Amino acid sequence: MVAASKLPEDAHNVPSTKDAPPPHFLVIGSGIAGLFFALKAARHGTVTIVTKDRVDNAATTYAQGGIAAALGTWDDPEKHKADTLVAGAGLCDDGAVDILVREGVQRVQELIDLGMPFTRGADGKLHFGREGGHGESRVVHTHDHTGRSVESFLLELVAAEKNIEILSGHCVVELATEHHLEKRGNSATVFGAYVLDAATQAINLFKADFTILATGGAGRVYPLTTNPPVSTGDGIALAYRAGCRIRNMEFFQFHPTALALKGKNPPGTPAFLISEAMRGEGAILTNPKTGRAFMQDYHAQRELAPRDIVARAIDAELKRDGLDYVWLDISHKDAAFIKEHFPLIYGTLKDHFNIDITREPIPVLPAVHYTCGGVLVDYDGLTDLTNLYAIGEVASTGVHGGNRLASNSLLEGLVFAKRALEHVLPRLTNVTIENKRAQASYLTQWDHTNTKNPEEWVLVSHDFKEIRALMWDYVGIVRSALRLERALRRIDVIYGEIIDFYNRTIISRDLLELRNLALVAQLTIRSALARKESRGLHFMTDYSEHREPSRVDTIIEPAHFRNTKRHA
């Protein structure tokens, strides 16, 4: 049960709005960033959370490791910042990282004060784990299922808030902008979204004073990923089509250690993640062919090197010796210790895959895990469009640079959700809200004219597999200009086919996800071709690797909006 049900007072007070209608917030996504924002926004207005699947089916739920924060007496935010900058391969935004590590301490403490049940030792004190790239033990966690526990905890708080409505089974088709007005405006403003109700197949207009993208990442653009099926890059695609810039999409993080057992999981299920915390507690990577540990050949920090380095090391071993996997072995540790610290991993592998990690090694290989790029935002989560914010994995805040430091993702969601709300609060005036609502009154309804049920869906559905295979083969851990150019030519054709089909067909969730995936793939390849160097997660055989500081970002400008017959 939740120990406390009231959120602490926000640092900012709402401006005097005696006669103003209560503001309405539309939150798209139900992971840590969206839920934390909604909880705080509910103190100042009404909130609708829309999510296309079950409310708890978010990438947050699948996070195992924990939340990094300099809460220990031996630690401080400057140390955390230094580790984040090193992991980011010289591409982090220094100011954004400073915000993350300093305000992150307050946000994690806030969760603790609310009653979040983080793991504690026998002495009652928080247990801090250590993960790759961290110079100190600073990861608070709930055993090895932190994300699941945080998600459940926040959902319980949300359920207690009368000002929050959650609609599952609702998939956003497009953001509602001035392009959808009967009387076109000149400002780049978002007024809400057009949303598909899976139960009725109706597309309804959800008006909002402020719209918050918290849709997570795009790992499903690859065939092997730890992400849930909902991670199809929806927020990135929605924002780009509406007129937002996209930044650093070439940086997809491959988690080094996902379970490597082909055919054991139903198609489309996430690759089971083996938490980095296991390497933090002494697990060793070994080559099945030679039997030797190999990380000392690649980095002084060995198994605790940043994720991009460990993933490339494993990839090199696999390719050199023709392997399907490498071993991750923690069986040399005490069995009771393993079961206590990694109950989810131990139980899952024992019960579902007949692997006893207290006695034998785990077959692992890299899998796509995190989207380090995304929608370009400022330090408050504000996008290029008025009243549109992006928080969490969908956003590019600059904190991750060319490679995310372990356990900084949930932290980022908390920190920038709070900052987004603080940015909104001074704008809750009656004049601002009433003016925007007057404009929104001219929004058109969705036009279904001349659409029909798909007769050739089987042909287009093949594009799902082709996109993912193309990304894995040509835009993987190691890339080349030749491969990327070939991939772009093919994805351009595929995307054109999908848009043609989309314009003629009744909309479904599958079709929306396919359209979004294809666009994300296109943006990723274009970004990768634009970066003429190897840095962090973007490794090109054509160019040498750089890790010295660089603030040269890859920014994709939005295409001109294409008005289609779907808009009256």
User: Tens of pLDDT along 492-532?
Assistant: 999 999 998 898 888 999 999 999 999 999 999 999 999 99
pLDDT for 444: 83
> Which candidate in 107, 241, 279, 307 is catalytic?
307
The residues of the chain that CATH labels 3.90.700.10 are 254-369
pLDDT for 431: 66
Q: What is the DSSP letter of 166?
A: E
Instruction: Give the closest residue to 399 by CA, choosing from 407, 310, 232.
Output: 407
The residues of the chain that CATH labels 1.20.58.100 are 457-505+508-546
pLDDT for 420: 98
- How far is residue 325 CA from its own chain's centroid? 26
User: Tens of pLDDT along 31-61?
Assistant: 999 999 999 999 999 999 999 999 999 999 9
The topology (CATH level 3) of 457-505+508-546 is Methane Monooxygenase Hydroxylase; Chain G, domain 1 (1.20.58)
User: Tens of pLDDT along 527-536?
Assistant: 999 999 999 9
User: Tens of pLDDT along 91-137?
Assistant: 999 999 999 999 999 999 999 999 999 999 989 999 999 988 899 99
Give the pTM. Answer: 0.90
User: Tens of pLDDT along 460-483?
Assistant: 778 999 999 999 999 999 999 999
Amino acid (one-letter) located at 217? G
pLDDT over 60 (residue 15): no
Q: Rg (Cα) of the chain, in Å, rounded?
A: 23
Find residue 192's DSSP bridge partners: 176, 207
Instruction: Give the closest residue to 343 by CA, choosing from 567, 124, 119, 153.
Output: 119
- Annotation marks residue 241 as catalytic: no
- Residue 189 contacts by C-beta under 8 Å, 6 or more apart in sequence? 177, 178, 385, 386, 387, 436, 439
CA atoms within 13 A on the CB side of 9: 4
The residues of the chain that CATH labels 3.50.50.60 are 24-64+147-251+372-440
pLDDT over 90 (residue 144): no
Mean pLDDT of the chain: 90
For 254-369, CATH number out of 3.30.70.580, 3.90.700.10, 3.40.50.720, 3.30.390.50 equals 3.90.700.10
Cα separation values, 475 from 112, 221, 222, 521, Å: 40, 11, 9, 9
pLDDT over 60 (residue 7): no
User: Tens of pLDDT along 58-80?
Assistant: 999 988 889 999 999 999 999 99
Backbone angles phi, psi at 216, to 5 degrees: 80, -160
pLDDT over 90 (residue 265): no
pLDDT for 457: 67
pLDDT over 80 (residue 266): no
pLDDT over 70 (residue 1): no
Q: What is the mean pLDDT of residues 191-219?
A: 96
Q: Which CATH architecture has domain 24-64+147-251+372-440?
A: 3-Layer(bba) Sandwich (3.50)
Place 429 in a pLDDT band, splitting at 50, 70 and 90: confident
Q: Quote the CA–CA distance of 92 and 376 in Å, as a whole number.
A: 13
Place 560 in a pLDDT band, splitting at 50, 70 and 90: low
Instruction: Give the closest residue to 500 by CA, choosing from 558, 444, 459, 471.
Output: 459
